[in-house]
């Protein structure tokens, strides 16, 4: 029990420093989440086996404006996309919980607050008003037929970078609907939670959470990831790609970062990035892509690098 008391004391100090005085209803220690970015292509989170992180491909599409688009096997190639699954695990002591709210339906976006579970009585704020910490992120309703729910903006970002760290291509992904989509392979102390406990009730809700699906008139919405769970976005989902149509031949890093601006309070930010080193080679030993693409570039995986935003440079 000594170790737990030390952890709770350190957590309380961290929260006090990061947040300043908490409201009276939130005094005492809280249990912080810890978001871990799984390596690129890891469906269902990171198990420790990189050979399972294979959910990525190269997809030629006819319409470069399509958010996803069917991969074409013949005919005109309008764009070449590197698609990949991304996953974020919560390996912390408490849930990541975001409450969104707006005053009336005329406001296009909801403001957001982060709620923290109490380490004293295990209670979890289940309303925007009870949530302890305002965050700069907002939520908006995505009307596209494959979504039709409320998105939290800026939760994850991915980029194609040179080995020196320069961004070549940035993502077009803009929002996320967070929930408990899988159990992490880690032995997280707070999981599995008893079904009748605050953690258990929250997880039961988040496992089915669809972020206000078909509710554009909603005034509030909840989303998040319980401790011991994760949320993944398959490579077939809209905007789970980087456009490599104009990328010269060479070696690059595919970098994926969760909570990159650190606006969400966590126990640790040291595990928020992962990267994958790849080689892109256009046909005929061309250094640059052709004006009209008729053949795909060869894209090869060099290595996958958990826990760092630099991967290609490790081979130097």
Is the predicted pLDDT of residue 281 greater than 60, yes or no?
yes
pLDDT band per the 50, 70, 90 thresholds, residue 191: low
Q: Does residue 223 or residue 172 have the better pLDDT?
A: 223
Q: How far apart are CA 274 and CA 316, in angstroms?
A: 18
Query: Residue 102 has what pLDDT?
Result: 97
Is the predicted pLDDT of residue 166 greater than 50, yes or no?
yes
pLDDT band per the 50, 70, 90 thresholds, residue 192: low
Q: What is the mean pLDDT of residues 228-238?
A: 93
Q: How far apart are CA 66 and CA 308, in angstroms?
A: 31
Average pLDDT across the chain, whole number: 88
Domain span at 217: 2-315
Query: Residue 2 has what pLDDT?
Result: 40
Cβ-contact 225, 96 below 8 angstroms: yes
Cβ neighbours around 265 below 10 Å, total: 20
- Per DSSP, the three-state class of 198 is helix
Query: Residue 188 has what pLDDT?
Result: 61
Query: Residue 136 has what pLDDT?
Result: 96
Query: Residue 190 has what pLDDT?
Result: 55
Is the predicted pLDDT of residue 149 greater than 80, yes or no?
yes
Is the predicted pLDDT of residue 164 greater than 90, yes or no?
yes
Tell me which residue of 40, 78, 83, 43 sits closest to 59, measured CA to CA: 83
Query: Residue 68 has what pLDDT?
Result: 84
* This model's pTM is above 0.85: yes
Q: How far apart are CA 213 and CA 223, in angstroms?
A: 12
Contacts with 135 (C-beta within 8 Å, 6 or more apart), sequence order: 98, 112, 113, 114, 263, 264
Poorest-pLDDT segment among 4-18, 101-115, 222-236: 4-18
Q: Tokens representing 307?
A: 């826990």
Q: Based on the structure, what is the number of domains in the chain?
A: 1
Q: How far apart are CA 232 and CA 126, in angstroms?
A: 24
In the block, residue with structure tokens 């991967």: 311
For the chain, give percent helix, strand, coil, nearest 5.
15, 35, 55
Q: What is the mean pLDDT of residues 8-18?
A: 42
Q: How far apart are CA 133 and CA 207, in angstroms?
A: 24
């Amino acid at each position: 029990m000594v170790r737990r008391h030390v952890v709770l004391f350190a957590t309380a100090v961290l929260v006090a420093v990061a947040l300043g005085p908490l409201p009276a209803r939130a005094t005492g220690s809280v249990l912080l989440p810890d978001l871990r970015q799984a390596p690129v292509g890891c469906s269902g989170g990171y198990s420790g086996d990189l050979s399972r992180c294979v959910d990525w491909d190269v997809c030629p599409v006819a319409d470069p404006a399509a958010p996803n688009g069917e991969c074409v096997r013949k005919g005109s190639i309008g764009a070449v996309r590197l698609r990949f699954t991304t996953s974020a695990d919560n390996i912390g002591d408490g849930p990541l919980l975001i409450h969104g709210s707006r005053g009336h339906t005329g406001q296009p976006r909801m403001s957001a607050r982060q709620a923290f579970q109490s380490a004293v009585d295990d209670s979890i704020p289940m309303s925007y008003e009870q949530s302890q910490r305002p965050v700069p992120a907002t939520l908006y309703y995505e009307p596209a037929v494959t979504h039709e729910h409320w998105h939290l903006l800026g939760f994850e970002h991915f980029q194609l970078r040179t080995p020196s760290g320069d961004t070549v291509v940035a993502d077009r992904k803009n929002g996320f609907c967070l929930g408990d989509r899988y159990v992490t392979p880690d032995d997280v102390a707070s999981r599995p939670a008893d079904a009748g406990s605050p953690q258990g009730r929250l997880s039961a809700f988040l496992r089915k959470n669809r972020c206000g699906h078909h509710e554009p008139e909603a005034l509030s919405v909840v989303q998040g990831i319980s401790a011991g769970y994760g949320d993944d976005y398959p490579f077939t989902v809209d905007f789970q790609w980087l456009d490599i149509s104009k990328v010269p031949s060479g070696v690059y890093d595919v970098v994926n970062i969760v909570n990159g601006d650190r606006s969400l309070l966590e126990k640790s930010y040291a595990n928020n990035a992962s990267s994958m080193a790849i080689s892109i080679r256009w046909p005929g030993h061309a250094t640059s892509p052709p004006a009209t693409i008729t053949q795909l570039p060869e894209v090869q995986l060099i290595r996958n690098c958990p826990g760092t935003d630099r991967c290609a440079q490790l081979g130097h």
